[in-house]
Amino acid sequence: MLKSVIVAGALALATVSFCAPAGAADRKVNIINKTKHTMSEFYASVVGADDWEEDILGSDELAPGESVEVDIDDGSGKCKFDFMGVFDDGEKVVKKNINVCTTGQFSFTE
């Protein structure tokens, strides 16, 4: 009896540890600036949010032709996000409904 409880417990633990990585989506996205202007700010907020989260670039900038890998995971477990890039010419470009669980790269273009 004790042996079957130990085996059942080990199987349950193995199942949980095997399934956990499958449920954890990779939310790292390579953001590429394919415009002629430097990106001074980048925001990503879950679809339906009332406001933008903090500037992911912080004090950094993304020059034309450059890219940066960002982890979009905000702890919500959601995959769909809106992106906003703010450029040195004052233009704000908003792209909606980006699936960060399946998108490995995203380009801002002219």
Please, what are the domains in the chain?
25-109 (2.60.40.2890)
d(CA 37, CA 92): 11
Residue 66 has pLDDT above 90, yes or no: yes
Residue 25: pLDDT band (50, 70, 90) is low
Percent over 90 (pLDDT), the chain: 70
The radius of gyration of the chain from alpha carbons, rounded to an integer in Å, stands at 20
Paired tokens of 17: 């540890």
pLDDT in tens, 36-57: 999 999 999 999 999 999 999 9
